[in-house]
Structure 1
Amino acid sequence: MKAFVRPTLVGCAAMLCAAGAANAQEWQPDRPINLIVPWGAGGSTDQVTRVTAPIISEALGVEVVVVNQPGASGAIGTQEVLNAPADGYTWTANAIANNATYAITGLLEDTDIDDWHIYLSVANVPVVSVPADSEFEDFGQLLDAFQERGQEITVATAGITSSGGTAIAALGAEGDFDYNMITYDGGGPAAIATASGEAMVTTQLAVEQTELIRGGRLRALAVLSDEPLTIDGVDPIPPITEWIPDMPLAPDYFGIFIPSDVPDEVKATMDRIWEEDVMNSEEIRTYAENFGAVFAPSYGEEARERAMPVVILEACGAVDRNEAVTDPSTIGIDCETMTETGTAE
């Protein structure tokens, strides 16, 4: 792992911001809330969001409507939320590293992590898998093939900024190989396509592949972690560090994000619900245990601090791969030293 310095807040001290939210009135919404998932149905974001939404709906007393709006690696649905009135009735769900780095990759302009009040639920890890009848028995064989055959090897992902897209890009950079990416509207469809033989490899998240691995349709070769991944009913999946010891790694956190300029009472109420209901949710814990995720709920400044390692890794990875349209220094990330000193104003 490469070192980083925890971020600081610019323009609003964390303690003062938290106190302001805590002193706000309880929010009582009077109509349904739209929760936009900017990816297709069945993917990692969609899965955990549909487990979480009913918990929040019951606590608020109104329906939380999950709406799938895929496109442009999640940027289209995310922009829809940013364009909506800041009244607390339009939220999004995603991997926080996406929301924090859309401006770096040029998919969205003038946005960063501090445009969002962050509610994290689980951490996910990408898994390198192949169809059950693949020629590749372990990741070492696949790595040799990548290095020898390059673009002949097709990889199914949900897009360049998806977890699967950034995973294969990082693997290609560390393993010194090319590949041919095929993109789908979500991680679930990408995993299914691989199991069906449309692609030779997928690098999507474990939660999107678990049922296919359990069902014998996908063969898991490696997890992008420095520890094996244990999923109920499946042999432990070996860590990528067995083949690429210096692979940069960071947990990929997922959750629900509310625009930071909504009224204080919205954030205060959601903070309470997250702490009382989501952070104690057996439904989300069971989902995580069954699908190879990590139950890791947090909110506010704690969530931001947890998110920063993967944000830094993905922002600077985009620079290394010549995919960055905007210099990460504009949002306070110094890729020369892999430190983060603040936030964009």
Structure 2
Amino acid sequence: MKFVTKAALAVAVAPLTLGVANAFAQDWQPDRPINVVVPWGAGGSTDQVIRVLTPIIGEALGQSVVVVNQPGASGATGTAEVLAAPRDGYTWTGNAIANNATYQISGLLPDTNIDDWHLYIAVAHVPVVGVPADSEFNDFGELLDAFRERGEGITVGTAGVTSSGGTAIASISQAGEFEYRMVAYDGGGPAATATAAGEVMVTTQLAAEQAELIRGGRIKGLAVLSDQPLEIAGVDPIPPITDWLPDMPLAPDYFGILVPTGVPDEVISALDAIWESDIANSETLLNYTLTNGAVLTPASGEAARAMAMPVVIEKACAALARGEAENDPSTIGIDCDTHSEIGG
């Protein structure tokens, strides 16, 4: 299934009117600021998306929604803080949904999975293989040949093993049959900046984290992890990686807000209504996606879970295949023999 097609499926939900959304939101009247913990450094794809979302949510609720960056352990440090916080509705997290769903597999957070969260997806992101502007590599084919010849002599900047960039290069290396050397940073933004500066030779972080650097001529986008070219405003389309690795498995990464289960029902009712109206109809969020090579995919509840599970399953089973899984995916209900949910 094509990336654009999968993403477009998410908008096939009829939005409520703005008035109805605000009426539901008023049922919960937060009396103090809400904290949204971003478990990555500032400037990365998660941070970008959450900083677009929080003012929209804050306006609907009539209360400040504050972004708190708390990087560490590939996002597990900040996520653990959210899980340990009181379940009063005032502490959320922002992340790629697949990260929260697979921390148990990586062993970083052995007691959590996707069903510990209320899901609010906003956008879909896709990784891009980027190199510094003065790189010796001018297309992905040249880079692929170099990976196969030089292996760990090629450095790849990512936000860590379990980040979108980390899982992207792992998947590419498996499909392309090569080795590499990862250099981890505190977020996708820092990894992209380091690549532009020539600290590393390649990055596989998300398009949103590289878009401004590509537009500014500091990074060359060699391939997008999709079977369709990626359109980023102001630059030539980035070719799909399937031009070189036609059988590589692909799945977009979905980003948004996650609220721990156990919070008061009125918190969830308010967010559900806000998501179906204010978020789904946000011109600001739409402009962000058009500028940064992302796709608007608003969804919540069971619809969000159904959207996220394909990439969750792929990420969990790929970790198992690479020998990186501390816990078998069956512990979170995933059968890697069939690449499906157990009982799903």
> TM-score normalised by the shorter chain: which range applies?
over 0.9
Instruction: Give the secondary-structure state (helix, strand or coil) at the position aligned to 2:108.
Output: coil
Kept in 2: contact 1:195–1:217 (CA 8 A)? yes
CA displacement 1:111-156 (0-9 Å, x = unmatched): 1001000000000000001001101010001000001100000000
Question: Structure 1: which 5+ residue stretches go unaligned?
Answer: 2-22
Partner of 1:215: 216
Partner of 2:308: 307
CA separation of 1:24 and 1:292: change in aligned 2, threshold 3 A: closer
How far apart in 2 are the matches of 1:24 and 1:91?
17
Over the matched positions of the two proteins, sequence identity in percent amounts to 71
CA displacement 1:237-257 (0-9 Å, x = unmatched): 000000000110011000000
- CA shift, 1:341, in A, is 2.7
Kept in 2: contact 1:222–1:238 (CA 8 A)? yes
Partner of 1:130: 131
Partner of 2:247: 246
Instruction: Give the secondary-structure state (helix, strand or coil) at the position aligned to 1:120.
Output: strand
Instruction: Give the secondary-structure state (helix, strand or coil) at the position aligned to 2:66.
Output: strand
Instruction: Give the secondary-structure state (helix, strand or coil) at the position aligned to 1:74.
Output: helix
- CA shift, 1:342, in A, is 4.4
Partner of 2:8: none
CA displacement 1:135-187 (0-9 Å, x = unmatched): 10100010000011000000000000110000000001111111000010010
Is 2:89 the partner of 1:61? no
Question: Structure 2: which 5+ residue stretches go unaligned?
Answer: 2-23
Kept in 2: contact 1:25–1:265 (CA 8 A)? no
For 1:195-206, list aligned pairs within 5 A: 195-206=196-207
- CA shift, 1:110, in A, is 1.1
How far apart in 2 are the matches of 1:130 and 1:291?
17
Instruction: Give the secondary-structure state (helix, strand or coil) at the position aligned to 2:27.
Output: coil
Kept in 1: contact 2:221–2:238 (CA 8 A)? yes
How far apart in 2 are the matches of 1:119 and 1:85?
20
For 1:292-303, list aligned pairs within 5 A: 292-303=293-304
- Residue type at the aligned position of 2:84: N
Partner of 2:46: 45
Partner of 1:119: 120
- Residue type at the aligned position of 1:64: V
Which contiguous aligned blocks of 4+ residues in structure 1 show a shift greater than 3 angstroms?
none
- Aligned residues, how many? 324
- Residue type at the aligned position of 2:171: A
Taking only aligned residues, the RMSD between alpha carbons, in angstroms, comes to 1.6
- Residue type at the aligned position of 1:274: W
Q: TM-score with structure 1 length normalisation?
A: 0.92
- CA shift, 1:204, in A, is 0.3
Is 2:279 the partner of 1:278? yes
Partner of 1:291: 292
Instruction: Give the secondary-structure state (helix, strand or coil) at the position aligned to 2:200.
Output: coil
- CA shift, 1:339, in A, is 1.2
Kept in 1: contact 2:132–2:201 (CA 8 A)? yes
How far apart in 2 are the matches of 1:272 and 1:25?
10
- Residue type at the aligned position of 1:115: D
How far apart in 1 are the matches of 2:30 and 2:112?
27
Q: TM-score with structure 2 length normalisation?
A: 0.92
